[in-house]
Amino acid sequence: MVKKLQKMADKKAASPAGLLDSQLANTIKASAQQIWLAGLGAFAKAQGEGTKVFETLMKEGQSLHRKTQAVASEKLGDVAGKMSAMAGEVGGKANAQWDKLETIFEERTARAMNKLGVPTAKDVAALTERVDALAAAVAKLGGKVEAPKAARAPKAAAKAPRAARKAAAPEANGVTKPAAKRRVARKAAATTAAAE
C-alpha cells in the first residue's frame, strides 16, 4: 500500500499541475510568514513608540483641557455678572414696591388714628411745649409748679383717657371750645389759689 501511495505522489509531482500546486502553496506560505513578521514588527514598534505617542496625546489633551476651562470660566463669569445685575434690578424694584406699600400703610394708619382722635407725635410735642410755657408762666407769677420732663410727656399723653385727648386736640390746632376754655381757666385759678 505504501508503494502505491509513493507512486501516486511521484506521478503528481511529475505532472505539471502538481508542480503548480506545490509552488502556489510555497508562495502562500512565504507570504503568510512575511505578513506575520510584518505584524510582529509593527507590534514591537507600537510598543516602543506607544509610550511616546501616549505622552504626546496626554500633553495635547491637557492643553485642550486648559483652553476649554479658560473659556468656560470666562463664560461663567459673564453669566454670573449678568445674573447679579438682574438680581440687583429685581431687588431694587422689590424695595421700591415695599417702600410704596409701607408709605400707603403709614398714611392709612395715620388717617385711621386721626379719625379715632389719637394725637400724632407733632400734636404731643406741641402740647408739651405749651405745657412747659404755661408752667413757666405760672412759675413767674409765683406759684410752685414742677416742670414736667419732655420724656414723660408722650407717655402721659399715651396713657391719658380718650376724652382728655379729644379735649386737648382742638387746643393744639388753635381752636378751643368754650368748655375747654372754662376748664383751663378753672385749673389756672385753682393753681394760683393753691400757690397763695
Question: Which pLDDT belongs to residue 146?
Answer: 62
> What per-residue confidence (pLDDT) applies to 160?
47
Question: CA 119 to CA 91: how far, in whole Å?
Answer: 36
Confidence at residue 28, expressed as pLDDT on a 0 to 100 scale: 87
Dihedral sign for Cα atoms in the order 48, 53, 54, 56: positive
Q: Give me the pLDDT at residue 131, please.
A: 95
Predicted local confidence at residue 99, as pLDDT: 92
- Percent of the chain residues past pLDDT 90, beyond the cut: 15
For the chain, what are the domain ranges?
A: 2-83, 117-195
| Predicted model pTM | 0.30
Burial of residue 127, with CB atoms counted within 10 A of its CB: 0-12 exposed, 13-18 middle, 19 or more buried: buried
Identify the pLDDT of residue 107.
92
Which residue ranges in the chain fall short of pLDDT 70?
1-21, 143-196
The single residue listed with the C-alpha cell 509513493 is: 6
CB count in 10 Å sphere of residue 157: 19
SS3 4: helix
From residue 105, how far is each of 92, 143, 174 by CA, in Å?
Answer: 20, 46, 29
Dist CA 69 CA 86 (whole Å): 25
Rounded Cα–Cα distance for residues 142 and 131 (Å): 17
Contacts of 128 (CB under 8 A, 6+ apart): 148, 150, 153, 154
